[in-house]
Amino acid sequence: SVQAPALNTTRSSEIFKAAQDILPGGVNSPVRAFKSVGGNPIVFERVKDAYAFDVDGNKYVDYVGSWGPAICGHANDRVNEKLKAQIDKGTSFGAPCELENALGEMVIERVPSVEMVRFCNSGTEACLSALRVMRAYTGRDMIIKFEGCYHGHADPFLVKAGSGVITLGLPDSPGVPAAATATTLCATYNNLDEVKALFAANPGKIAGVILEPVVGNSGFIAPDKEFLQGLRETCTKEGAVLCFDEVMTGFRIAKGCAQEYWGVTPDLTTMGKVIGGGMPVGAYGGKREIMDMVAPAGPMYQAGTLSGNPLAMVAGIETLKILGEPGQYEKLDKLTKRLIEGILKAGKDNGHAVCGGHISGMFGFFFTEGPVKNFADAAKSDTEKFGRWHRAMLEEGVYLAPSQYEAGFMSLAHTEADIDATIAAAQRAMARI
Ligand code: PMP
C-alpha cells in the first residue's frame, strides 16, 4: 500500500491534553473531539479562504467551513471589512439598530415563506423558539420529528437526534426529564405513512412537524420531493405547523433556501450558520399570523441580550450580499459535484462500497452500498473504515468532518485546483485504507 505522508501534530496534542483539564472532553462542542474517528483533534491557529492552518504549521483544504457558516470562504475580506468598521461603532447595543431591519428584509425578500423574522444567537435557540411558537399558535403540545435529524440540544429534541448524539451513541441524554420528551413523536425520514399514522393516532394533538429539508446530521440524506409535498398536505389538512429547520440548508443550497429548491413552502423556518456569516446567529421566521404570537407583538415569550447583535448583523448582511450575486450557487454546485464524483470514484476504484451525493454546496458520502434514505440506512456504514479514511485525508492535508454522520460543506473560496488536489488525495487515501 501507499506510504502515508508524515503529519506532525505535536502542538495540537499538547494543547488538547491541557484542554481536557479545563473544558469537558477538551472541547466546547462534542463532535470536535474526534471521538468517533480516533486520534486527537487538530487545533486550528487561523483560517483563511478554503484553508485551515493548525498550530503545528500544517495547512488543510477545509470542507467543514466552521460546520457551514464559512460559505464565502473563511475570514472573507468583504465580511471582515464590515466587521472591522462595525467594531468601532460598538459591539453590542441592547437596543434596536437599523442593521436588524436590513438583514430581516433580505431574509424576507429571499425566503418565500418568511413574512416576519426574529433573530437569536444559535440554531438551538432558533429551533427551541420555533417549537414554542408552534405550540403557542396551535394550542397543541405534541410535535413530530424524524430519527437522525438534529435540531439543537434543547430537551424536547434530544430524541433519536443526529449529529454528535449519534456519533457519541447518546440516543437520549441524561438530564433530559422524561416529561420533556413525552410530547415528542419520532418518525422515519422519507416515510410519509408513519407521519400520517401518528396524526391518526393523536387527533387534534399535534402542533406540527419539524425536519431538515435535506438531512446533514446523519450524514447527507436527500428527501424525496413527494415526502416533502406529502408533509405539506398532511400538515395543512391537520391544522398543524410545518417547520423546515434550515439551520444547515438555509442560504446554502439555494438563494431562497431548501424550500425554494424543493418548491415546498413551510409555515415556519429556522435558520443559523450562513445567516451569521461566521458570527453566532440564529433566526426563526414564517407566516405573519404565527410570528405575531412572539413577544412583544404577542404572548409567546422569547428574548435575548445579544440577539440582533450588530456584528452578527453586518456579517450576515455582507454574506447574503455575496451569495446574492449571479452565479454563486451554480459555482458551489459545480465545485461540489466535481468533488463528490471524484471521491465516490476513488472509493469504487479501490474496491470500497460507497454511496453519496450533493445538493449545491452541501455533500456527503457513506461507506455503505446504499441507497441511504433514512438514519437506519446510514447506520449501516462502516464507521471504522470512515475513521481510517478521515485520518488518511488529514495526512493528505484535507480536513473533513470527523464523523461519518456529518455533511460536508463547500465554499466559494475553493478552487478547481483545490478540488482536483483533494480528489488525487482521496485516491491515495482510499488505496491506503
Ligand atoms: N438544526 C440543524 C439542522 C443543525 O444542523 C444544527 C447545528 N448543526 C442546529 C439546528 C443547532 O444549531 P447550533 O449548533 O447553532 O445551536
> Would you list the domain boundaries of the chain?
10-63+327-432, 77-324
Ligand 1 contacts CB of residue 411 (under 6 A): no
Q: Quote the pTM value.
A: 0.97
CA 75 to ligand 1 center in whole angstroms: 21
Residue-wise DSSP of 337-389: HHHHHHHHHHHHHTT---EEEEETTEEEEESSSS---SHHHHTTS-HHHHHHH
What SS3 state is found at 198? helix
**Cβ neighbour number for residue 355 with a 10 Å cutoff:** 18
Ligand 1 contacts CB of residue 79 (under 6 A): no
> Which segments in the chain show pLDDT lower than 50?
1
Cis peptide, bond prior to residue 280, ω within 30 of zero: no
Which among 433, 397, 382, 393 is positioned nearest to 36, based on CA atoms?
A: 382
CA 301 to ligand 1 center in whole angstroms: 21
Which residues are within 8 A (CB) of 143 and not within 5 positions of it... i.e. 6 or more apart? 131, 134, 135, 156, 183, 184, 185, 206, 207, 208, 209, 210
CA 217 to ligand 1 center in whole angstroms: 9
Based on its alpha-carbon atoms, the radius of gyration of the chain, rounded to whole angstroms, reads 21
Q: Which of 127, 251, 409 to mutate to test the pocket of ligand 1 (most atoms within 8 A of CB)?
A: 127
Which residues are within 8 A (CB) of 334 and not within 5 positions of it... i.e. 6 or more apart? none
Q: What is the pLDDT of residues 201-227, one digit of tens each?
A: 999 999 999 999 999 999 999 999 999
AA identity, residue 298: G
Ligand 1 contacts CB of residue 167 (under 6 A): no
Which residues are within 8 A (CB) of 95 and not within 5 positions of it... i.e. 6 or more apart? none
Ligand 1 contacts CB of residue 406 (under 6 A): no
Q: What are phi and psi of 427, to 5 degrees?
A: -60, -45
How do strand 268-272 and strand 241-246 relate by DSSP bridges?
parallel
How far from chain centre, in Å, is Cα 294?
Answer: 25
Q: Which of 129, 157, 247, 271 to mutate to test the pocket of ligand 1 (most atoms within 8 A of CB)?
A: 247
pLDDT at 390: 97
Ligand 1 atom with minimal separation from the 280 CA: 15
What are 408's strand-pairing partners?
363
CA 129 to ligand 1 center in whole angstroms: 13
Helix (H) or strand (E) holding 409: strand 408-409
CA 152 to ligand 1 center in whole angstroms: 5
Which residues are within 8 A (CB) of 171 and not within 5 positions of it... i.e. 6 or more apart? 159, 160, 161, 165
CA distance 414 to 363: 14
**Cβ neighbour number for residue 199 with a 10 Å cutoff:** 21
Task: Tell the residue nearest (CA) to atom 5 of ligand 1.
Answer: 248
The cell numbers describing 382, all together, are: 462502516
Half-sphere exposure (Cβ direction) of 174: Cα atoms closer than 13 Å = 0
CA 216 to ligand 1 center in whole angstroms: 10
77-324 and 10-63+327-432 share a CATH fold: no
pLDDT at 252: 98
AA identity, residue 304: G
Ligand 1 contacts CB of residue 247 (under 6 A): yes
What are 74's strand-pairing partners?
49
What are 209's strand-pairing partners?
144, 242
Domain 10-63+327-432 matching CATH 3.40.50.1170: the answer reads no
Contact 144, 208 (CB under 8 A): yes
Domain 77-324 matching CATH 3.40.640.10: the answer reads yes
Residue-wise DSSP of 164-188: HHHHTT-SS-TTS-HHHHTTEEEE-
Catalytic site residues? 150, 245, 273
Ligand 1 atom with minimal separation from the 125 CA: 16
Ligand 1 atom with minimal separation from the 124 CA: 16
Ligand 1 atom with minimal separation from the 67 CA: 8
